[in-house]
Structure 1
């Protein structure tokens, strides 16, 4: 089980439900596999109906989880909740290419959920 923003807990069942929802709505994604916020909002609503743990599965939480899964599945890079995609200097060109079609991944270059949420809380944005 992984924890993301606003105490959203992602169980394996939650992740599978999200992936199945996005698979069923694949036509809504562009060529790069990027869904619009309206799709993530609908996914969050479906997840909330079945969610039993953690904070709400908001559109942003669903979008962030998709970004993480996308990084893991399509790049072969590892993921860490603390260090994100953990991009090293020798991976920089691959990262730049990846960002051309996955702009939402930019904050996760070397920052995972934990570090970003702590920064947001420190800045009192949430």
Structure 2
């Protein structure tokens, strides 16, 4: 699935067109459709990701499948639970952590888990060399 396919899918889910997304982000007409043949700038990709409520990795395809994402979500849930409730945790000070801090920590942990999963998959995937 290409970047434009993912954006189209997300727009459909939100009930908007790509043209409406382009107008909302003050992009020129056809900007996103051209990304099927050209590479978008990181700034524009970030704007689209933020607007659609996803991360850039999702838009560009992170190399993880549904099972990987389920495993990461389960691991993340367990880690967050342990960090919040375990008295030996570095974050447990007798009170629960602030919701904003919790969200930031959760995002950072999720990103770290995804990177590790991707690196481990790459490590064990045979590389094809051009001759």
- Answer 1 or 2: higher relative contact order, Cα 8 Å, separation at least 6: 1
Give the TM-score normalised by structure 1: 0.25
Larger Rg: 2
Give the TM-score normalised by structure 2: 0.24
